Chains A and B, each alone.
Chain A
């Protein structure tokens, strides 16, 4: 009879508007099932609304508005071009350095801003967390999602800039969104982990900007990955963003495609982050409303 009830609960949950009753079970924490991913999927409208809110609020009182999506990577690209491109003469796979670094900065900016926002998401929403239930995973997820729009804007502007620059992207450019998606997935996985740690230890808030800066240098944004000695490539590749940036540049500029091994280690790295995030987030979620 109990089993029948549980099955019923799952079935009715999918047809909640037509069938009754929905059964909610409340009990102490019971491991990874607490992440409640089916419920998160059912509440996907909230994912959308929270991301929409973040985008709206971010640009509501800004002067440049969505132009910030482009200003961020462009200003960094200018700095890198002057100091690393001109003064240090960093190689750029036969592509003009400014185009090389600007292209790399597009997925990087998505990653960096999505990571920072999702790391802050739980603490920022502590009011809601202590007053209403919904799958908490939606908070870091939607915080990261809100940066996808910036990414799309920046990506389109850069494609236009490349056309003007006389470096028209090839057909591979069609794969750029998928590569960008991997940057998004990495930021969600790691951001979710950081968000949970931040709920308990506010050190994270101070550590994240530093982390992002360091991460920028262990990612081939301002230099090509080929500079890294080949026997260290596997370790270098565990940084999931290494493959992302290299692959993104390949799709846009036709620079050498990253090694298949780099993709494998990127996926392994992402998996490790996601696994750690799932475990730690679940542990924190059970006490979230009490500690955040």
Chain B
């Protein structure tokens, strides 16, 4: 045995899902009906519906490494964490983990709403693998970290979502495993709590622990991780120094999210200015989606063939049924440019996306004193993903339009 073997080794791990079996479970009668066919012909299963979430993942991770796993939605990040935390088994391949493993795939795992904060600390701790003795020993520390003081004996169902998150993370942070596996939990909670959580993570790694975490927060990956792995379609495409891997990721998603408009012929306008490309940005980087309640940027690259000034740039977003959902306009918002260069990018920054999750078609238009310079219908798509707009974890029900609006309720006397 070598003196310091890797803490995590994986050898050609693959995971296959049969499409349809994940979301829906079967009915007994259907299975029984299929049985004769299966007995006669074992190959009667339809291999066409197989989907490989992971393909031949082989990585070694040394003690003390903090590894950030990045990749687009559906690249296999969560599946990899689920396999390493033993929630699910690989279809083939093997892995070995040396040391106690603590997995945090969700904050507040095992919380029961009817039980009090105190009771849930013990329950959740037991589910995550802490012994009763260990929980008792760390109880005060956990409560202090969670900062829920007077609500300790209150049922968790009366907690705010923020309190629940803090308590959940506090329990998990005191697991003190040798290998810590975390899935996107840093995206929850307010900024102060996120800093506290990140701090706890770097403390843990300084203590010789190995950390593996999945995140969309590329800034956190760059600042906390010592190594980063980029997954794409279930395979490792880049593995190395975080800022290089993050750059590679941005290059790849940038390429994919960039929509070229230069060659579109279905456009109107006099052509003095033309849109040549468009993309959206999420958390400061080109992205194939934005998130309700978070900031976003719509970027429009253009070229001019004549002198243009005081142009009005507008973006109209339409839902899948073709109804108008949102109008963004530079003049309306008070922006004007006395000089427009021959080439450049108009950036429309949105503080807090107020559109509900869904796909929206964007129409872009540039006009000068009412005369269209360029007008492209259905220029690009904006994919909006679900987010915590109000900080309550709730979004409006369906059927009330595509928009969310900040608002406040008060109660007064008549």
A residues within 8 Å of B by Cβ? 1, 5, 16, 20-29, 43, 45-46, 49-50, 53, 56-57, 60-61, 127-134, 197, 199-203, 286-292
Contacts of B123 in A (CB 8 A): 49-50, 53
| B residues near A61, Cβ cutoff 8 Å | 114
Contact B89 A26 (CB under 8 A): yes
A60→B115 CA distance, assembly (Å): 9
Minimum Cβ distance to chain A for residue B130 (Å): 9
A29-B89 Cα distance, complex, nearest whole Å? 7
Indicate whether A45 sits within 8 Å of B127 (C-beta atoms), given known contacts A23-B96, A130-B87.
Answer: no
The answer to whether B22 touches A290 (Cβ under 8 A) is yes
Q: Which residues of B contact A288 (CB under 8 A)?
A: 88
- A sample of 10 inter-chain contacts (CB < 8 A) reads A21-B98, A22-B99, A25-B95, A26-B95, A28-B92, A50-B126, A128-B109, A133-B85, A197-B28, A200-B26
Docked-complex contact A28 and B89, CB < 8 angstroms: yes
Distance of B404 from chain A, by nearest CB (Å) = 26
**Other-chain contact of A132, B21, B87, B114, B131 (Cβ < 8 Å):** B87
Judge if B86 is at the interface, Cβ distance under 8 Å.
yes
Which B residues are CB-close (under 8 A) to A20?
A: 99, 178
- A21/B132 contact (C-beta < 8 A), A26-B84, A57-B115 known: no
Q: Which of B100-108, B142-150, B394-402 contacts A (4 or more CB under 8 A)?
A: B100-108
One of A27, A132, A199, A286 near B127 (C-beta < 8 A): A132
Q: Given the complex, which residues of A lie within 8 Å of B85, measured CB to CB? A: 132-133
**Is the Cβ of B91 less than 8 Å from the Cβ of A24?**
no
Contact residues of A: prevailing secondary structure? mixed
A26 in contact with B26 (CB, 8 Å): no
New A-B contacts (11) at CB < 8 Å, excluding given A21-B98, A132-B103, A201-B26: A21-B100, A24-B96, A27-B94, A49-B127, A127-B106, A127-B109, A130-B82, A132-B109, A133-B86, A200-B31, A289-B87
Contacts of B105 in A (CB 8 A): 130-132
CB atoms of A49 and B25 under 8 A apart:
no
7 residue pairs, one from A and one from B, having the closest CB atoms: A133-B86, A49-B126, A26-B95, A27-B94, A201-B28, A289-B88, A24-B97
Q: What residues of A have a CB within 8 angstroms of the CB of B28 in the complex?
A: 197, 201, 203
Q: Please, which residues of chain B bring their CB within 8 A of the CB of A25?
A: 94-96
Q: A23-B96, A61-B114 are in contact. Are A291 and B22 (CB under 8 A)?
A: yes
| B110 interfacial contact with A, CB 8 Å | yes
Shortest Cβ gap from B125 to chain A (Å): 9
The answer, yes or no, to whether B17 is at the interface (CB within 8 Å) is: yes
Instruction: Annotate B50-66 by CB proximity to A: 1 below 8 A, 0 otherwise.
Output: 00000000000000000
Task: Please determine whether A26 and B90 come into contact, CB atoms closer than 8 angstroms.
Answer: yes
- The answer to whether A132 touches B110, judged by C-beta atoms less than 8 angstroms apart, is yes
Q: Does chain A have a CB within 8 A of B128?
A: yes
- Within B118-142, the residues touching A (CB, 8 Å) are 119, 122-123, 126-129, 131-132
Chain B nearest Cβ from A144, distance in angstroms: 18
Interchain CB contact under 8 A, A26 and B86: yes
